[in-house]
């Protein structure tokens, strides 16, 4: 499924609190440089990233709307971080600290996750590839290993042909993505099946998360993985072909 995203931003009125904040921080960093004006926009982004540009005397900042409701001290910290980065100066530690602490707050982490889910661009190609159909394959594996009881998530091929990431399960979008590199005439079906089966096991054994997104394979997971009858053959093929240049 392809989620689209509106990239329109709302430019703040001249004379906004943000404009005077960016002007003030700019003048502290670059007291002798002429500033023609400042434009600050809050954008609907899928994460908390913000950016700033300097063009012919104009500053143009695009802030994630995660910060619209942030306390003034956090908005100020963000202004320092963006402007220091722009002019290659060291960001004062207190601003970095304040910014990080804000993004680590439980409710902020949760709202960023939520935004990611709602707006995140998830560009995947349809499950029916040129050589393999992931839906059909999923249902075969489902019957064979999960009593047909696993609810099917979104399935699709990655737009890129990654050899380093052959598959992943994206919990925020409830989607299994398989690298398009595997949708090839010289790729054994058992390899694609194995990669898909591995990702299906991530649905069966949800990982414990501690803020950091990573692939966790418990003992139990590994054991279930070895129940795939072509486990060895699939791994051998992957090792032989991924390292091939």
Give the residues lining the site for Zn ion (CB under 5 A): 215
Residue in the block written with tokens 């329109």: 8
Is there a contact between 137 and 169 (Cβ–Cβ < 8 Å)?
no
The CB-based long-range contact list for 204-210 (8 Å cut-off, 24+ gap) reads 204/146, 204/150, 206/171
Residue in the block written with tokens 């063009």: 55
User: What's the distance, Cα to Cα, between the start and end of the chain in Å?
Assistant: 32
Q: What is the dihedral of CA 190, 192, 194, 198, to 10 degrees?
A: -170
Q: How far apart (Å, rounded) are the C-alpha atoms in residues 242 and 245?
A: 8
Q: How far is the CB of 2 from Zn ion (least distance, A)?
A: 24
Closer by beta carbon to Zn ion, 165 or else 215: 215
Closer by beta carbon to Zn ion, 69 or else 216: 216
Closer by beta carbon to Zn ion, 60 or else 225: 225
Q: How far is the CB of 193 from Zn ion (least distance, A)?
A: 15
Q: How far is the CB of 203 from Zn ion (least distance, A)?
A: 11
Closer by beta carbon to Zn ion, 10 or else 239: 239
Q: How far is the CB of 178 from Zn ion (least distance, A)?
A: 12
Please tell me what DSSP assigns to residue 152.
P
Closer by beta carbon to Zn ion, 54 or else 205: 205
Q: How far is the CB of 166 from Zn ion (least distance, A)?
A: 10
Residue, CB closest to Zn ion: 215
Is there a contact between 61 and 51 (Cβ–Cβ < 8 Å)?
yes
């Amino acid at each position: 499924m392809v989620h689209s995203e509106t990239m329109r931003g709302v430019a703040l009125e001249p004379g906004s609190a943000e404009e005077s904040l960016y002007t003030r921080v700019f003048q502290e960093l670059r007291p002798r440089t002429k500033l023609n004006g400042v434009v600050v926009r809050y954008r609907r982004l899928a994460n908390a990233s913000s950016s700033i540009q300097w063009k012919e005397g104009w500053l143009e900042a695009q802030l994630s709307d995660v910060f619209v409701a942030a306390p003034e001290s956090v908005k100020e910290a963000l202004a320092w971080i963006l402007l220091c980065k722009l002019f290659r100066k060291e960001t004062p530690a207190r601003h970095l600290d304040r910014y990080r602490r804000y993004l680590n707050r439980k409710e902020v982490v949760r709202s960023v996750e939520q935004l990611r889910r709602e707006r995140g661009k998830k560009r995947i190609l349809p499950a029916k590839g040129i050589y393999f159909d992931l839906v059909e394959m999923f249902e075969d594996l489902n019957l064979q290993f999960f009593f047909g009881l696993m609810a099917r998530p979104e399935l699709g091929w990655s737009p890129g042909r990654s050899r380093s990431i052959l598959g992943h399960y994206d919990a925020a979008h409830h989607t299994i993505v398989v690298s398009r590199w595997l949708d090839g005439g010289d790729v054994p079906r058992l390899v694609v099946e194995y990669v898909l089966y591995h990702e299906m096991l991530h649905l069966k054994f949800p990982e414990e998360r501690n803020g950091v997104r990573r692939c966790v394979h418990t003992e139990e997971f590994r054991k279930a993985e070895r129940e795939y009858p072509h486990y060895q053959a699939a791994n051998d093929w992957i090792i032989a072909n991924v390292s091939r240049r």
